[in-house]
């Protein structure tokens, strides 16, 4: 007989780890499936300046590591596995994971969101050969080179600023002339001597597919259709994220972009009715705030819902 767990948490970012701290502290021995990006988005970011309690900021990976240690102290266990399949109609839920079958009374979905790509063939062909979505992972390879970053939000600003540590020039390309980024981040980028902002510009092609190495970008000015070549050695995407919900399609309600629709913030639904015992938290259900602190907050809420759910059923 497979052991029936009280709770399993999908994802090990800020939301999943907060849920693990709370459910661990409640004595529920949570199992965290770490997913394909262990630690989530914070683990590939740099300085986090707005997480309360760290007046001088804290490095994203260090913050995640602290949370993981805190969860482990309360009995959370971690498995490097991903959910392949689950049938939410049968309770307790049976999860098919890359590490085998798991049975659980409750499920916390904290699978987050992953980097979005432009989706053009030349970009896809050159991922890992000069095209990247992670400045902190790959910036080092561009020491002394000229590169480009695409996007107009905080991620793009953060990437561009971080990449100035290595690159001699960073061209920030944005498809509109208005920015989504916060004022403080945009001002920092504008003020940086090695960052050049180019608005109303889209990437039509990444050059260098034959050579298997980025040689430049073919750009188009959207106001007049004029094309130009920007010689760069690297391209970084900072154009947002897509929620990791493929494995739940058809079992919980998703919005048009794949985010989990919730009721009362963390309760999941299917065809408008509650899916009892399944709770969603963090970026996988949040298209509006998407902050580390809000992810942590909803992780806490999901954990409290799990406690209430199990208590009501006498567990
Ligand atoms: P975002 O705010 O959604 O911005 C995505 C940007 O990429 C937008 O400017 C968008 O253009 C552009 N974009 C999207 N798809 C594109 C495409 N196919 N081609 C070209 N451009 C495309 O995402 P984000 O920057 O990742 O930020 C997400 C959240 O995390 C935000 O709440 C942000 O404040 C937060 N964050 C905070 C920090 C920080 O405070 N240090 C750092 C990173 C992220 P349009 O504007 O035209 O839609």
Q: Which of 6, 14, 138, 253 does the annotation list as catalytic?
A: 138
118 lines ligand 1 (CB under 6 A): yes
User: For every residue of 106-154, which 3-state class applies, written as one string?
Assistant: EEEECCCEEECCCCCHHHHHCECCCEECCHHHHHHHHCCCEEEEECCCH
295 lines ligand 1 (CB under 6 A): no
Going by DSSP bridges, is the β-strand pair 195-198/201-207 parallel, antiparallel, or unpaired? unpaired
Give me the domains of the chain, ranges plus CATH numbers.
4-114+241-312 (3.50.50.60), 117-237 (3.50.50.60)
The CA-atom distances, in angstroms, between 168 and each of 129, 183, 188, 194, 202 are 19, 24, 17, 7, 22
Q: Is residue 281 annotated as part of the catalytic site, yes or no? A: no
172 lines ligand 1 (CB under 6 A): no
Ligand 1 centroid to residue 254 C-alpha, Å: 21
> Which amino acid residue places its CA nearest to atom 7 of ligand 1?
239
> Mean pLDDT, the chain, as a whole number?
95
Give pLDDT, residue 290: 86
Percent of the chain at pLDDT exceeding 90: 90
Q: Is residue 14 annotated as part of the catalytic site, yes or no? A: no
Tens of pLDDT, residue by residue over 59-94, are 999 999 999 999 999 999 999 999 999 999 999 999
Residue 126, Cβ density class (10 Å: 0-12 exposed, 13-18 middle, ≥19 buried): buried
More confident residue, 1 or 41: 41
Give pLDDT, residue 1: 63
155 lines ligand 1 (CB under 6 A): yes
Residue 76, Cβ density class (10 Å: 0-12 exposed, 13-18 middle, ≥19 buried): buried
């Amino acid at each position: 007989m497979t052991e029936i767990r009280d709770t399993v948490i999908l994802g090990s970012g800020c939301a999943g780890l907060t849920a693990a701290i709370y459910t661990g502290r409640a004595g529920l021995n949570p199992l965290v499936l770490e997913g394909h990006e262990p630690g989530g988005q914070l683990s590939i970011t740099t300085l986090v300046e707005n997480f309360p309690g760290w007046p001088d900021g804290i490095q994203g990976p260090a913050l995640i590591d602290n949370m993981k240690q805190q969860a482990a102290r309360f009995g959370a266990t971690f498995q490097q596995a991903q959910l392949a399949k689950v049938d939410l109609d049968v309770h307790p839920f049976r999860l098919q994971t890359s590490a085998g079958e798991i049975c659980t009374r409750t499920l916390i979905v904290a699978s987050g969101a992953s980097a979005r790509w432009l989706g053009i063939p030349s970009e896809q062909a050159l991922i890992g050969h000069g095209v990247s979505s992670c400045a902190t992972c790959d910036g080092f390879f561009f020491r002394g080179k000229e590169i480009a970053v695409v996007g107009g939000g905080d991620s793009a600003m953060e990437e561009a600023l971080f990449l100035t540590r290595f690159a001699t020039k960073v061209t920030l390309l944005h498809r509109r002339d208005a920015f989504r980024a916060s004022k403080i981040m945009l001002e920092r980028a504008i003020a940086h001597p090695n960052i050049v902002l180019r608005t109303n510009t889209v990437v039509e092609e990444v050059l260098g597919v034959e050579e298997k190495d980025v040689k430049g970008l073919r750009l188009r000015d959207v106001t007049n259709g004029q094309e130009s070549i920007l010689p760069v050695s690297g391209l970084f995407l900072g154009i947002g994220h897509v929620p990791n919900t493929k494995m739940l399609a058809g079992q919980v309600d998703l919005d048009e972009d794949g985010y989990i629709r919730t009721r009362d913030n963390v309760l999941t639904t299917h065809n408008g009715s509650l899916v009892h015992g399944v709770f969603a938290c963090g970026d996988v259900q949040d298209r509006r705030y998407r902050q580390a602190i809000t992810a942590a907050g909803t992780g806490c809420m999901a954990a409290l819902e799990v406690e209430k759910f199990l208590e009501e059923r006498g567990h």
